[in-house]
Structure formats: C-alpha cells, structure tokens
Amino acid sequence: MSGQTASTACEAPVPVTRLATERTRRIASGNVEILVREWGAQNAPAIVLLHGLRGYSGTWRKLASSLQDRWRLVAFDTRGRGSSDWDPDRNYYTDAYLADLETVVDELGLDRFVLLGHSMGGTTSYCYAAKHPGRLQALVVEDITAGSSVAGEGFKRIVAEMAALPRRFADWGEARAYWRKLRPGVADAAIEERLFESMREDDDGSVIWRYDADGIAATRVEPDPARVVDLHPVIAAIRTPTLIIRGGKSDFCNLAKVQELEADNPALSHATVEEASHYVHDDAPDTFCRLVEGFLAGIRTCRGAVARQD
C-alpha cells in the first residue's frame, strides 16, 4: 500500500506478512491469557521483546527478520492489547505487566536471556532486571528513563492523546487519517501496520480498537499514584549490562536524565539515534538493529573472554 494517502484511501489495511519462522501460543497469567509470538530456532539464545503502551507483539517483526537466524525472539501482546485477554479488573499497571513477563519466561523455560523493552515495556524491563539480575544476559531499553512517565513534554503528550482517544471511527479512511495526524513522521508502511495490528472492523462497518482503550486510558490519564513506579531506585539497582537507545527527536526520554543515571551506574550506557522519535525501531529500523546487534556482540565477546581466562 505504498504511496496511499489518508485523504483518499478508505479500504482496509493489507494484512501483515508473517515471517516463515513465526509461531504463536497462549499462556495463562493470573486471570488473563497472553498471546505469545516467537521467531527463530527454539534452541537458539533468547531475546524477549516488550512493546509500548499502545503497541503489539508484531511491532518487532523487522528486528526479528534480521536476528532470527541467530536468536530465538519472543514477544507477547501485553494484557489488554492485541490478541491477549483484556483484564476484567483493568489492572494495567507495572506490577501486572511484570507478573506476566515472569510467567511467560518461566513457562517457556528461559533461564538466561536478553530483555528488550520499548517505552512502557522498558519500565517493565527495568523492574525485571532489578528484581532478577541472575536471569538476564543483557538489557536493552528503547526511549524511556526515570521520570519519563510522570513529567515532561512527552508525558503530557501521551496523557493528552489518551484523554482525547476516539473510541470509534466511521471507516478505515477516518482511522487512517487519525494515525497519520498523530504520527506524521512515520512511513506509510508503519501506519498500515498500526491499523492492521491495533484496530478492527466492527459489525456495523465502523472501526474500533483491538485493545482495551477505556481501561488503559484510565490508568494513564488518572493513575493511582501509589502504583506508579519510581524508576530512580530501580535503575540504580541494575547490575546487568544495559543499553538505552533513545531518539534524538524524542520528547520522552530526557538525555540529561539518562546521562545522570549513567554517571552513577557503570552498568548503563546509551546511544542516540538522531533521526528518530520515540519510536526508534519504527523510524530507523536498520540503525536500531545495528545498535542492538553490536551491543549484544560486545556482551558475548566480553563474557567469552572472561570464560576463557577462567
């Protein structure tokens, strides 16, 4: 659907092409079932991938296409999103996301793995790394740091977006125009993927969200302060080698805060992708992949050298 414009294209999005190695399963976690998506050989070293607030597991296909010959990649639709169950109690807080992650990796028997999380998934990743340091080979976090989810321009933007979130669109053309206005800098293919992965046609022909828009919006617009995680002590406690990848055009991941935390914790390092926004893996997928591959290669080389010395 390359070249299609929001003002003229009213047809449904073309289904996303699945990779040849792609497979899915469902795993029960508390009162919900989680849709888990995998790529690559099951006996390969594992990378677990966590999407953001309004994301979906399929957002990682581009990365998976580059790494699936060497890695087993595991992603899942966070509760309330994609093909995972909606939480009947609307528990869309970090404690629930962390419990889901713990359940998925235990069910899959992943004793040692790499964890990569974007935005909201990055918060969950930080918390897992602090709680389970012995389980992780490395941690990669995309465009979130301490304070990102409680203050700043990016925080205000996301709250405003969720507060004004339309619950229904007249047709695919109106839904497409909404996404194009909201994300003017992303490629047409990324808009089409968002339409296919996060929306569906209702019985009356209108277009609605695949995710629990009301429940998720409520926890972001008017959250319970007692359940919002302060990432400062969490990140300070991390001892796993960690790479933070931020977008140079992002309004969400404050560079000064990243550098401040990095100065106090030698496990942390960062890279800025100047041409990218908050969605680095969408805006600059090749650069994002190279950064991830380079970081993981360095970690494996260093650990191999230590093993040989022993």
pLDDT for the residue 6: 38
What is the H or E stretch that residue 258 is in?
Answer: helix 255-264
And the tokens for 103? 């359940």
R_g of the chain computed on alpha carbons: 19
Cβ 38 vs Cβ 205: under 8 Å: no
Kindly state whether residue 197 falls inside one of the protein's structural domains.
Answer: no
| pLDDT recorded at residue 298 | 87
Averaged pLDDT score across all residues of the chain: 92
- For residue 281, the SS3 value is helix
How many structural domains does the chain have?
A: 1
Q: Which range marks the domain in which residue 99 is found? A: 23-150+230-309
Instruction: Indicate if the pLDDT at residue 303 is higher than 60.
Output: no
Q: How many residues does the chain have?
A: 310
User: Going by C-beta distance under 8 Å and a sequence separation of 6 or more, which residues neighbour residue 243?
Assistant: 138, 139, 140, 141, 269, 270, 271, 291, 292, 295
168 in a structural domain: no
- Given this model, what pLDDT does residue 309 score? 31
Which of 220, 223, 271, 219 shows the shortest CA–CA distance to 250?
271
How far lies 237's CA from each of 134, 178, 229, in Å?
13, 40, 14
pLDDT value at residue 183: 83
pLDDT of residue 308: 31
Residue 184: predicted pLDDT:
84
For residue 69, what are the β-bridge partners?
none
Q: pTM of the entire structure?
A: 0.92
Instruction: Identify the CATH number of the domain in which residue 137 sits.
Output: 3.40.50.1820
Q: Per residue in 182-224, pLDDT tens?
A: 888 778 888 999 999 999 999 999 999 999 999 999 999 999 9
Q: Does the pLDDT value for residue 302 go beyond 90?
A: no
Q: Is 84 part of any domain?
A: yes
Residue 110 falls within a domain, yes or no? yes
Please report where in the chains the tokens 């994300």 appear, as a residue. Answer: 183
Do the beta carbons of residue 27 and residue 104 sit within 8 Å? yes
In 3D space, the residue among 289, 298, 309, 297 whose CA is nearest the CA of residue 62 turns out to be: 289
Whether residue 229 is predicted with pLDDT greater than 70 in this model: the reply is yes
Q: Is 92 a domain residue?
A: yes
For residues 88-114, give the mean pLDDT. 97
Distance CA 241, CA 66 (A): 22
Q: What is the mean pLDDT of residues 116-122?
A: 98
Residue 253 lies in a domain: yes
pLDDT > 70 fraction of the chain, expressed in percent and rounded = 94
Mean pLDDT of 112-124: 98
pLDDT of residue 306: 35
Residue 291 has pLDDT above 70, yes or no: yes
- Has residue 80 got a pLDDT over 60? yes
Residue 220 lies in a domain: no
Listed range (6-10, 20-24, 238-242) with the worst mean pLDDT: 6-10
Q: Does the pLDDT value for residue 267 go beyond 50?
A: yes
Q: Is residue 196 part of a domain?
A: no
